[in-house]
Amino acid sequence: MRILGIVVEYNPFHKGHLYHLNEARELVAPEVTIAVMSGNFVQRGEPAIVNKYARCEVALSEGVDLVLEIPAVYAIQDAGGFALGSVWTLEHLGVTDIVFGSETADLKMLETTAGVLILEPPDYKESLKAYLKDGLSFPNARKFALRDYLAREFGALSERIEEIGRSNNILGLEYITAIKLLGSNMKPGVVKRVGADDTEKVFTGEFSSATAIRQMIRSDEWNKVALSVPAKSMEILRKEIAAGRGPVFPERIQDLLVPFARATPREDLSRLYGFSEGLDARFKSCADNSTTLEEFVDCVKTKRFTRTRICRTILNAVFSIRPRLVEKSRALGPQYLRVLGFNEKGRAFLSDVKKQLSIPMITTPSLWKKLLKKSQRDGPDIDVELFKEQLFLDFRASSLYAFLCPQRSAIKGIMDFKEPVRYREE
């Protein structure tokens, strides 16, 4: 039995996503297709443009059989943490094939590179250190160190290593690394991305990037949006916006972030995840002198602190995420499988694998206490403290997300307690 896993954000679901989904299914010919998706906050360190239930509905309507949420502690981490949490979730479900999008679709190069990242040969490590010392951001330092190492060891690859730096290749690299780290048998596959790079910020036709589409939504260019997303995605976007639940743009967090960073003691920030290398002091002084998110990020930004790292660190601060939670999450993995929705095939699959799962499966979050008690009694054996910390972070993320919606009272309370798991009839 072949089970296809894909890792997605669908922020929002567009034609490039549909292309990837269809190509991946063609490639693997799976019995079941499972998507693990970030929740209400995405890996760029931003709130998603519409909430996770809405995005799940589109995924189901476009052919995904089962949608799970990546716990927020992984979803808002760097590419490595994001990939680890995603692949670990897929591994729990017995996924046989993972297919990701890539600018190059050169699996061999990605695998060779992942090997270097895991083994960290001394030469590579030294060169990485040197680049970091020069003030480069970690992703850039790593890129250059890899380039040098691979050029030395495998001359043939040297010209193409620049490509590694492109965002989806980095993610692909991280998926492969995660598979290796977990000792998983999952088989990686790639689909060459079509259309615009995710860094492309403007409309480039049918295959515009998610970034560009969010930009079109902001500027109310709905004719362009309609060209770039499937009909169902369009319908859901429209519905969410009409209900006051979207669009949620990143700057909506500025009314919280800037005053929060002004009011919080530097020492409190320094105890949170991601505030190394003096970022705490930088946050303080930039907050004192900024009134918008843009001003704040521009003030904090340096060669070393990239925009997305800053945004993720903002979320670490806002959610009060401590290093211990992240470290434990990396070491022990997700402590539950959070189901957002399924069709009949997905439901049947879940009911088949349910008994063999080594972590509990959550379909009704309001019953988490009961579920935890049951799992303490009958297994599976999990880290109870970590289970609670991961799950509560998801709840806090949902509660904050609701406040960021254009109409603040559009979502009452924590949506996870009220929204039913999505079921799509064939």
| Cα–Cα distances in angstroms (integers) from residue 133 to residues 130, 282, 303, in the given order | 5, 19, 12
324 binds a second copy (CB under 8 A): no
Nearer to a second copy, 370 or 408 (CB): 408
Q: Which two tokens stand for residue 257?
A: 């972030």
Nearer to a second copy, 154 or 260 (CB): 260
256 binds a second copy (CB under 8 A): yes
Other beta carbons within 10 Å of 311: 23
Report the sign of the C-alpha dihedral through residues 204, 210, 214, 220, in that order.
positive
Q: How far is the CB of 320 from a second copy (least distance, A)?
A: 5
249 binds a second copy (CB under 8 A): no
Contact stretch for a second copy (CB under 8 A) within 42-50, 54-62, 225-233, 390-398: 390-398
The rounded radius of gyration (Å) of the Cα atoms in the chain is 21
Q: How far is the CB of 291 from a second copy (least distance, A)?
A: 4
403 binds a second copy (CB under 8 A): yes
Question: Are the CB atoms for 146 and 110 separated by under 8 Å?
Answer: no
Nearer to a second copy, 219 or 409 (CB): 409
Q: How far is the CB of 401 from a second copy (least distance, A)?
A: 9
Q: How far is the CB of 11 from a second copy (least distance, A)?
A: 20
156 binds a second copy (CB under 8 A): no
Give the residue, chosen from 264, 270, 363, 376, that forms a contact with a second copy under the rule CB under 8 A: 264
Nearer to a second copy, 105 or 256 (CB): 256
Q: How far is the CB of 285 from a second copy (least distance, A)?
A: 9
Give the residue, chosen from 310, 414, 419, 422, that forms a contact with a second copy under the rule CB under 8 A: 414
For residue 111, the Cα-to-chain-centroid distance in whole angstroms is 21
Nearer to a second copy, 232 or 322 (CB): 322
412 binds a second copy (CB under 8 A): yes
413 binds a second copy (CB under 8 A): yes
366 binds a second copy (CB under 8 A): no
399 binds a second copy (CB under 8 A): yes
Q: Are strands 32-38 and 361-362 parallel, antiparallel or unpaired?
A: unpaired
Question: Are the CB atoms for 124 and 146 separated by under 8 Å?
Answer: yes
409 binds a second copy (CB under 8 A): yes
| Long-range contacts of the stretch 233-241 (C-beta < 8 A, 24+) | 233/12, 233/13, 233/14, 233/58, 233/62, 236/12, 236/50, 236/54, 236/55, 236/57, 236/58, 237/12, 237/49, 237/50, 239/54, 240/50, 240/51, 240/54, 241/50, 241/406
Give the residue, chosen from 258, 293, 300, 362, that forms a contact with a second copy under the rule CB under 8 A: 258
Closest to 393 (Cα-Cα) out of 318, 312, 304: 318
Give the residue, chosen from 262, 307, 370, 373, that forms a contact with a second copy under the rule CB under 8 A: 262
Number of residues counted as binding a second copy (CB under 8 A): 30
Measured CA to CA, the distance from residue 197 to residue 104 in angstroms comes to: 12
Q: What angle do CA 321, 338, 381 make, to 5 degrees?
A: 80
| Cα–Cα distances in angstroms (integers) from residue 83 to residues 78, 86, 98, 389, 403, in the given order | 9, 5, 12, 20, 28
**Residue ranges that bind a second copy, judged by CB under 8 A:** 255-256, 258-260, 262-265, 268, 287-289, 291, 318-320, 392, 396-397, 399-400, 402-404, 408-409, 412-414
